Structure 1
Amino acid sequence: MRSFIAWTICWLVVLVSTGGPLAAADWLSFLGPTANGKSTETGILTDWSDGKLKLLWTLDLDTSYGIGAVDQGRYFQFDRVGDVERLICLDAASGREIWHADQPVAYRDMYGYNNGPRSSPVIAGNRVFTYGVAGRLSCFDKTDGKLLWTHSLNEEFGVIQNFFGVSCCPVIYKDMVIVMVGGSPAADQRLPLGALDRVIGNNSGIVAFRQSDGKLAYQLSDELASYSTPVIAKIDGQDVGLAFMRGGLLAFDPNKGKELWHFPWRSPRLESVNAALPIVRGDQVLISECYDVGSALLKVTPRDYELLWKDPRSRRAQAMRAHWATPIQHGDYLFGCSGRNEPDSDLRCIRWSDGEVMWTKPNRIRTSLLWIDGHFVVLDERGHMELIKDSSDSYQPVTEIDLSEALGDIEAPFLRSPCWAAPVVANGRLYVRGANRVACFQLIPSAAK
């Protein structure tokens, strides 16, 4: 269990090609505007040698796992400093601090991983939302960081501490903010810490609040929380919420807060997690985990689902075993890291329709991906970053930089392991992070001002 990795992700479809040098876009939420880890920007730098990938600024971090969000020239990062969770707002061009807001937190990870937030901040209009590791959902004014409202959801809904705390990122839908909660009845509060096999739900698997005042909009499902983040997809002309919960994929009506259907998908072992986001392509949804059952592809409607394919029980024969990093669908293929731990992990491409493995790079280390301009930015957990072509034919590296080494006048490690957050691109700037800092690079030269 000590080798069990605490992560989420906080981390959950259409790409428009502009043909021009740049289609600038903000990055308001986890995995970007369409929750799929893809950017519409073009004109990226494809040679990172000899300092060509220009470092713009860095921000030292204390304790956290998630990366930030970008909106209207500002970068928002959520971390923990001492006994407070901190939301900090920076000028995205220079890294200069504009404001920060602190809230107390007392979380301690039961398996010794870090005690900071796992999730990313989310921006909607003039509001910034955070969801802390101990279940504090908060809304701040984007301009000055003033706290507008907050809920201690673990207390309000009786959440039994999960293996690694709260990891879901808030999801914006119309005038609501939706989160995974997974509370339990009062009797379960007396269970021993870690006895999650004996915990039941209390109709709070998914909970929605009004953005304006934090009032409860609805709650549904006895499912318990996972480390994934819900996505909202258009299926048969209807908005459908898709949440990869602890026990499987839950479909719900995000307008009315009604459960539509549930597809069971979970490892039989207690000490396992569902963490990657559901991956949506038209009316098909792929879910993946790394402990036992692997991946499954469903054809879905708002009323039911049809299983198109699923991985065999033999892990060596499984197409994709996503842990905390959500794979990226591009064209007829899916690209991502497959494997639970360093020794059994590889970067691979599989065919969407049937799961056939097209190629693998057996690098024996876990990676996170970002798609941009015909390429993937691939960051491994030790800080090595490379650019590869988005080819289904073979692994095709283009350029690389080792961010675990010294960079400029910053001593090694420039990024300290673990580097578990997927890279972010907004307005030509690339944001990556390790355990010790966030770094901002100029990825698109023509976007520099």
Structure 2
Amino acid sequence: MRPPHFILLLLFILPTTLTAQDRWPGFLGAGASPIKADTIPTQWSPEQNIAWKAGIPGYGQSSPVIWGDQVYVTSVEGPNKEQLHVVCYSLKSGKQLWDHVQPSTNPEKNSVYISRAAPTPVLDENGIYAYFESGDIVALSHAGKLKWTASLAKRYGAPQNKFGLSASPVQWKDRVIVLIDDEGPSYITAVSKADGSELWKTDRKSRASWSSPMIVPVGEAQQVVCSSAGTIDGYDPQTGKQLWSYAQVGGNNKTSPLPAGNGEFLIGASPGREGDNNELAKKSNGLFVVKQQDNAWQPGFVWTNASPTPSWGTPIVYRGHAYWVNRVGVVYCLNAGNGESIFTSRIKESCWATPVGIGDHIYFFGKNGVTTVLKAGNTFEIVAENELWTEDAPPVNNVPTAEETTAERRRASAMFSRPTLYGAGVVNGYLVLRTGSQLYCLQQLAAGR
């Protein structure tokens, strides 16, 4: 039985300082350092360019984050997700450096239908700030020393979304900003990096959504932008004041408003399972911009295109092109300036992770472990299709064993009994991919390694 606080392993090998020169410090690489394309492989297989693999205790759906020569993941463990893990590994060797474990203040059944350590942490020079869908936030130093914990469930009430929460926090200066869009009380709040205290809290209309907020540069300032279940909203990160809201959207409850320029970001939207929001969702995929005119904010679409629909992967802009990928692996490439379709083609797998542009290539991380590398540009050109594991890959850890009550849930449980690729982190020389219970580090290795 692990102790209820933290476990420090191999502390003596930790560096005394970490450089921020190479970093992937948040969800979708927000605040990431520049990447030299020739240091990242475009081809790999179980026998080629995999530098190391490492097991993760429990199970998690968050993306890896990287600071200096350390990589971090979060996970949950136990039949009621009662143990929360923040785990640190050596980026060079894959050796586990430490594992902080603490009890959840809001345990709930561990099920494939409920998010499991879905929010991605944020990093700065002082350490890691990890938020869990239970409402728990934990702050640790890079050496794994506990700084503080806070429970939003105790502070504001437990979430009621039957599928759990997955919005990742963002950071701005001295604060971590968390979005809780829920069937119960919904809000956005900023907590102090110093001690976890509330700096501000702004209530929102109740809704079911899993999209994450983003920090978007607008003019000389920055805003917290939320695209979530029927509205797009901008907030002042200093005060929490809502600056503007745009309500002519629908189906925007999964993907995040990744910045694409000054005041610009893409919106991704798709109809629900029952076809709800179908017509409005078709009008909600496009480039959005926020401008200030006569001391008033003017939000609106620059263009929309009815063709693309995303699943979980956020649409991106890269080298003048906008890319969407849907739930069956269809890639939509549009002109980022005017929204005109350039090509629509299918890759081998659907993607839960968001694509990443590196150099002349776009990496599409397939849900079942096949990463398709496309040539960036006006034509659909597959550079490589890279398998991360073979068909006989072992079952994942911590798959709930409780009997599911419906045929649909039993099918979902069987689907998640195999590895699922959830996210990526990239710094010079390293591409780190994460499944529910394993980390993979890819490097451009010499032949035969």
Please report how far the alpha carbon of residue 109 of structure 1 lies from its aligned counterpart in structure 2 after TM superposition: 6.1
2:170, 2:178 within 8 Å by CA — same for their partners in 1? yes
Matched letter for residue 58 of structure 1: A
- Write the distance in 1 (CA, Å) between the matches of 2:224 and 2:110: 31
Please report how far the alpha carbon of residue 286 of structure 1 lies from its aligned counterpart in structure 2 after TM superposition: 2.0
1:93-112 mapped onto 2 (5 Å cutoff): 93-105=92-104, 107-108=107-108, 112=112
Q: Deviations over 1:362-392 (max 9, x none)?
A: 247422312112112221111112322112x
Q: Are 2:36 and 1:41 aligned?
A: yes
Please report how far the alpha carbon of residue 334 of structure 1 lies from its aligned counterpart in structure 2 after TM superposition: 0.8
Paired residue for 1:336, among 295, 306, 324? 324
Q: Secondary structure of the residue that 1:40 maps to in structure 2?
A: coil
1:337, 1:347 within 8 Å by CA — same for their partners in 2? yes
Partner of 1:321: 309
Q: Are 2:124 and 1:124 aligned?
A: yes
- Write the distance in 2 (CA, Å) between the matches of 1:218 and 1:49: 47
1:430, 1:443 within 8 Å by CA — same for their partners in 2? no
Q: Are 2:393 and 1:412 aligned?
A: yes
Q: Deviations over 1:390-420 (max 9, x none)?
A: 12x22211123222416xxxx5259874534
- Write the distance in 2 (CA, Å) between the matches of 1:216 and 1:245: 23
- Write the distance in 2 (CA, Å) between the matches of 1:29 and 1:164: 23
Partner of 2:204: 222
Q: Secondary structure of the residue that 2:29 maps to in structure 1?
A: coil
Which stretch has the larger CA shift, 102-111 or 284-293? Answer: 102-111
- Write the distance in 2 (CA, Å) between the matches of 1:405 and 1:149: 41
Matched letter for residue 398 of structure 1: V
- Write the distance in 1 (CA, Å) between the matches of 2:334 and 2:146: 45
2:348, 2:372 within 8 Å by CA — same for their partners in 1? no
1:17-28 mapped onto 2 (5 Å cutoff): 25-28=22-25
Kindly tell me: are residues 418 and 47 of structure 1, through their superposed partners in 2, closer, same or farther at Cα, counting changes over 3 Å?
A: closer
1:49, 1:399 within 8 Å by CA — same for their partners in 2? no
- Write the distance in 1 (CA, Å) between the matches of 2:85 and 2:334: 39
1:130-209 mapped onto 2 (5 Å cutoff): 130-143=130-143, 145-182=144-181, 196=183, 199=184, 201=186, 205-209=187-191
Which stretch has the larger CA shift, 299-308 or 325-334? Answer: 299-308
Partner of 2:365: 379
Q: Deviations over 1:90-115 (max 9, x none)?
A: 11111111111112235446974255
1:379, 1:419 within 8 Å by CA — same for their partners in 2? no
Please report how far the alpha carbon of residue 242 of structure 1 lies from its aligned counterpart in structure 2 after TM superposition: 0.8
TM-score normalised per structure 2: 0.78
Partner of 2:222: 239
- Write the distance in 2 (CA, Å) between the matches of 1:111 and 1:100: 23
Matched letter for residue 373 of structure 2: L
1:366, 1:380 within 8 Å by CA — same for their partners in 2? yes
1:241, 1:252 within 8 Å by CA — same for their partners in 2? yes
2:74, 2:84 within 8 Å by CA — same for their partners in 1? yes
Kindly tell me: are residues 394 and 418 of structure 1, through their superposed partners in 2, closer, same or farther at Cα, counting changes over 3 Å?
A: farther
Partner of 2:342: 358
Kindly tell me: are residues 228 and 444 of structure 1, through their superposed partners in 2, closer, same or farther at Cα, counting changes over 3 Å?
A: farther
Please report how far the alpha carbon of residue 307 of structure 1 lies from its aligned counterpart in structure 2 after TM superposition: 2.9
1:276, 1:289 within 8 Å by CA — same for their partners in 2? no
Paired residue for 2:302, among 303, 308, 315? 308
- Write the distance in 2 (CA, Å) between the matches of 1:29 and 1:334: 22
Kindly tell me: are residues 445 and 215 of structure 1, through their superposed partners in 2, closer, same or farther at Cα, counting changes over 3 Å?
A: farther
2:430, 2:441 within 8 Å by CA — same for their partners in 1? yes
- Write the distance in 1 (CA, Å) between the matches of 2:42 and 2:384: 6
Q: Percent identity?
A: 23
Kindly tell me: are residues 122 and 297 of structure 1, through their superposed partners in 2, closer, same or farther at Cα, counting changes over 3 Å?
A: same
Partner of 2:408: none
Matched letter for residue 37 of structure 2: T
Paired residue for 1:253, among 236, 245, 251? 236
Q: Secondary structure of the residue that 2:155 maps to in structure 1?
A: helix
Q: Deviations over 1:118-162 (max 9, x none)?
A: 02221112221111121112211221x232222221232224322
1:126, 1:141 within 8 Å by CA — same for their partners in 2? yes
1:405, 1:413 within 8 Å by CA — same for their partners in 2? no
- Write the distance in 2 (CA, Å) between the matches of 1:25 and 1:108: 37
Q: Deviations over 1:201-258 (max 9, x none)?
A: 5xxx210011111121111142346322221122121222211233321101112221
Kindly tell me: are residues 414 and 388 of structure 1, through their superposed partners in 2, closer, same or farther at Cα, counting changes over 3 Å?
A: farther
- Write the distance in 1 (CA, Å) between the matches of 2:85 and 2:432: 19
1:417, 1:434 within 8 Å by CA — same for their partners in 2? no
- Write the distance in 1 (CA, Å) between the matches of 2:446 and 2:21: 12
Partner of 2:257: 277
Which stretch has the larger CA shift, 277-286 or 257-266? Answer: 277-286
Q: Which runs of 5+ in 1 are unaligned?
A: 1-22, 184-195, 312-317
Please report how far the alpha carbon of residue 173 of structure 1 lies from its aligned counterpart in structure 2 after TM superposition: 0.5
Partner of 2:436: 435
Matched letter for residue 361 of structure 1: S
1:61, 1:438 within 8 Å by CA — same for their partners in 2? no
Kindly tell me: are residues 33 and 305 of structure 1, through their superposed partners in 2, closer, same or farther at Cα, counting changes over 3 Å?
A: closer
Q: Secondary structure of the residue that 1:298 maps to in structure 2?
A: strand
Please report how far the alpha carbon of residue 346 of structure 1 lies from its aligned counterpart in structure 2 after TM superposition: 0.9
Kindly tell me: are residues 443 and 224 of structure 1, through their superposed partners in 2, closer, same or farther at Cα, counting changes over 3 Å?
A: farther
Q: Give the CA RMSD over aligned residues.
A: 2.9
Please report how far the alpha carbon of residue 61 of structure 1 lies from its aligned counterpart in structure 2 after TM superposition: 4.7
Partner of 1:31: 28
Please report how far the alpha carbon of residue 166 of structure 1 lies from its aligned counterpart in structure 2 after TM superposition: 2.1
Q: Are 2:289 and 1:299 aligned?
A: yes
Q: Secondary structure of the residue that 1:423 maps to in structure 2?
A: strand
Kindly tell me: are residues 281 and 224 of structure 1, through their superposed partners in 2, closer, same or farther at Cα, counting changes over 3 Å?
A: farther
- Write the distance in 2 (CA, Å) between the matches of 1:350 and 1:240: 26
Partner of 1:348: 332
Q: Secondary structure of the residue that 1:432 maps to in structure 2?
A: strand
- Write the distance in 2 (CA, Å) between the matches of 1:328 and 1:346: 15
Q: Deviations over 1:18-51 (max 9, x none)?
A: xxxxx9722111111447xx95222133443693
Kindly tell me: are residues 296 and 324 of structure 1, through their superposed partners in 2, closer, same or farther at Cα, counting changes over 3 Å?
A: same
Q: Deviations over 1:285-331 (max 9, x none)?
A: 321122230414322125221332334xxxxxx23222221122112
Q: Secondary structure of the residue that 1:51 maps to in structure 2?
A: coil
